[in-house]
């Protein structure tokens, strides 16, 4: 599903009205009615139920007034509170204000000195609250008066339905800079806004419903470079059935190069995950003194020993040995547990500049380029980099706060500058390409914030690249599968006790879900 910025949504609205002749008043009617239906779905029979509707002066407030009217028609007891003067309404919002007023309904002011007191009384008796204070144009921090209103709503413990975006949330970034409505449900219109898919916006939005308000599909179903929400439907559409006559060579050969004394586990996790995600053959190359241990841990993985330093890290002299192994490999996963020993850093840099097959670069493989991410542009290979926010900050010479404050645009900038696929890990992982195609993941949970989780993701990405998927789809589908495996594992074990090995155990179930979903959508394959 496509994700849009506030400006992109405004442009779609404008073209809908000007090019297709669909009146803005009709769009507002459809939007408000969708909100009313969502409230009715949550409350069941609404006759006699009490609903508080908070309206600002813009189109978002107009949507709220339409929702109030439809709820009123279904027998609900509605109380509309205005965060503006009636004279502030204009355009379509003004029309709906006048309609509601002509129905003989009293409207309460939040501008007056006793407005907050009246709202508190109404909330005590209410069954639900509709938030239509601010829409997608909101930026920064709301004024103290409205901030107190928002805090009062959040403290009331009632069902809260937000109109388009929760008030106080930035639609483009998901940032929250002050008081913000914590919705149980957000009804967004036409297409989901980018900030609803990013943290913390996704938490404040709660359950997300995308309502059809009659926007022409020619404007909403645009293919090619753009931003998308990474869902089961999208990931499943990329995963092809396995040919009946396939053999292990059909699904590629992954070479994992990593490990060092004290950090062998990271490399082993990546190799094991690559097998569980469908790679035909996996070889793990580690410092020679660690090879026997790796072989004992991984029954199905082939192992190789490489020249090492006295400290048990990979030596620069291992370069020709790695190149020999690469001659029989489809993809290189480089970095898990590899260390930041100076000789290892030199080895990593030499490999990235010389290798011609796809490379998945992670962990200390990324740290070998700290402050010099521009060196990625001088390579020969297709490249996927998988930094967490700290690693991204070091690569770009930025602060972690700067990376986290605008994750999508930071990832997109890095992908353009480095000419690579970038996987910016974290809550709502982002996958993006140099041409601006971006996916925001919808799976995963806080239990996955554990050592080794990123190494598992590296293995899954490498496995999908080995199976022949293009780099973006391989990385994005891997991110979805990895997060879904974490959700499956947490469903059985809870979040607190999750370890990376639990994710590997759940990878087959996550992949099976996509296979079964694809079969349901596309129908059975074969004759008949």
What proportion of the chain, given as a percentage, has pLDDT over 90? Answer: 92
- The lowest-confidence range among 96-100, 206-210, 377-381 is 377-381
pLDDT surpassing 70 at residue 463: yes
pLDDT surpassing 80 at residue 255: yes
Under 8 Å CB-to-CB from 316, ≥6 apart: which residues?
343, 344, 346, 347, 350
Mean pLDDT of 283-311: 97
Mean pLDDT of 495-520: 94
Which domains, from first to last, does the chain contain? 2-222 (3.40.50.10260), 251-520 (3.40.1190.20)
* pLDDT for the residue 521: 64
CA distance 519 to 480: 18
**Rounded CA Rg of the chain:** 26
* pLDDT for the residue 526: 32
Under the banding of pLDDT at 50, 70 and 90, the label for residue 525 is very low
Mean pLDDT of 322-335: 97
Quick one: which of 409, 413, 438, 420 has its CA closest to 377?
420
Q: Cis omega before residue 252 (within 30°)? A: no
* pLDDT for the residue 221: 84
Two tokens, residue 187 = 């009804």
Mean pLDDT of 468-481: 97
- 171, 204 Cβ separation under 8 angstroms: no
Under the banding of pLDDT at 50, 70 and 90, the label for residue 527 is very low
Higher pLDDT, 113 or 215: 215
CA distance 510 to 485: 5
Mean pLDDT of 58-79: 97
Q: Directed axis angle between helix 500-522 and helix 264-276, to 10°?
A: 20
Under 8 Å CB-to-CB from 17, ≥6 apart: which residues?
23, 24, 27
pLDDT surpassing 90 at residue 378: no
CA distance 502 to 467: 24
Q: Where are the beta strands (DSSP E) in 190-252?
A: 207-211, 227-230
* pLDDT for the residue 380: 87
Q: In this structure, what DSSP letter does residue 96 have?
A: H
Mean pLDDT of 210-229: 89
At 123-140, the pLDDT tens digits run 999 999 999 999 999 999
Buried b (16+ CB within 10 A) or exposed e, 357-375: bbbbbbbbbbbbbbeebee
For residue 349, give Cα distances in angstroms to 10, 364, 459, 516.
Answer: 45, 11, 20, 41
Quick one: which of 173, 235, 231 has its CA closest to 204?
173
pLDDT surpassing 70 at residue 501: yes
* pLDDT for the residue 516: 92
At 153-193, the pLDDT tens digits run 999 999 999 999 999 999 999 999 999 999 999 999 999 99
Q: In this structure, what DSSP letter does residue 206 have?
A: -
- 179, 151 Cβ separation under 8 angstroms: yes
Two tokens, residue 424 = 């910016």
* pLDDT for the residue 113: 86
- What distance lies between CA 215 and its chain's CA centroid? 24
Q: Cis omega before residue 200 (within 30°)? A: yes
Across the chain, what does the average pLDDT equal? Answer: 95
Two tokens, residue 250 = 């059909």
pLDDT surpassing 60 at residue 524: no
């Amino acid at each position: 599903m496509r994700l849009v910025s506030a400006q992109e949504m405004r442009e779609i609205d404008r073209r809908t009205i000007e090019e297709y002749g669909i009146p803005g008043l009709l769009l507002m009617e459809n939007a408000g009615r969708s909100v009313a239906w969502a409230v009715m779905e949550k409350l069941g029979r609404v006759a006699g139920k009490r609903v508080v509707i908070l309206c600002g002066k813009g189109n978002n407030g107009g949507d709220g007034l339409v929702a109030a009217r439809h709820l009123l028609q279904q027998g609900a007891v509605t109380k509309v509170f205005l965060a503006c003067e009636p004279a502030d309404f204009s355009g379509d919002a003004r029309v709906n204000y006048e309609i509601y007023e002509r129905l003989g309904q009293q409207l309460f002011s939040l501008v007056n000195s006793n407005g907050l007191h009246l709202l508190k009384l109404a909330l005590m008796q209410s069954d639900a609250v509709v938030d239509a204070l601010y829409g997608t144009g909101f930026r920064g921090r709301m004024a103290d008066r409205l901030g107190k209103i928002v805090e009062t709503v959040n403290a009331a413990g009632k069902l809260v339905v937000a109109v388009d975006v929760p008030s106080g949330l930035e639609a483009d970034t998901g940032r929250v800079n002050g008081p913000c409505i914590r919705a149980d449900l957000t009804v967004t219109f036409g297409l989901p806004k980018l900030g609803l898919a990013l943290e913390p916006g996704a938490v404040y939005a709660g359950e997300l419903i995308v309502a059809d308000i009659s926007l022409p599909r020619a404007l909403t179903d645009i293919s090619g470079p753009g931003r998308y929400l990474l869902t089961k439907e999208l990931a499943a559409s990329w995963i092809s059935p396995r040919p009946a006559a396939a053999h292990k060579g059909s699904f590629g050969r992954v070479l994992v190069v990593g490990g060092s004394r004290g950090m062998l586990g990271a490399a082993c996790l990546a190799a094991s995950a690559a097998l569980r995600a469908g790679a035909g053959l996996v070889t793990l190359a580690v410092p020679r003194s660690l090879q026997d241990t790796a072989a004992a841990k991984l029954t199905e993985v082939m192992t190789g020993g490489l020249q090492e330093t006295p400290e048990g890290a990979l030596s620069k002299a291992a370069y020709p040995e790695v190149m020999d192994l690469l001659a029989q490999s489809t993809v290189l996963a480089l970095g898990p547990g590899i260390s930041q020993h100076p000789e290892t850093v030199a080895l990593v840099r030499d490999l990235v500049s010389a290798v011609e097959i796809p490379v998945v670069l992670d962990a200390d493989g990324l740290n070998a380029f700290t402050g010099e991410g521009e060196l990625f542009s001088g390579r020969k290979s297709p490249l996927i980099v998988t930094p967490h926010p700290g690693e991204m900050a070091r690569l770009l010479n930025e602060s972690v706060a700067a990376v986290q404050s605008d994750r999508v645009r930071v990832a997109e900038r890095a992908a353009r500058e480095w000419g690579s696929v970038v996987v910016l890990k974290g809550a709502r992982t982002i996958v993006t390409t140099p041409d601006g195609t971006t996916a925001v993941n919808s799976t995963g949970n806080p239990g996955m914030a554990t050592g080794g989780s990123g190494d598992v993701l590296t293995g899954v990405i490498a496995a999908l690249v080995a199976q022949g998927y293009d780099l973006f789809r391989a990385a994005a589908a891997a991110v979805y599968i990895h997060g879904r495996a974490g959700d499956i594992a947490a469903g059985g074990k809870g979040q607190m006790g999750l370890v990376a090995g639990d994710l590997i155990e759940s990878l087959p179930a996550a992949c099976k879900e996509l296979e079964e979903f694809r079969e349901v959508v596309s129908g059975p394959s074969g004759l008949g």
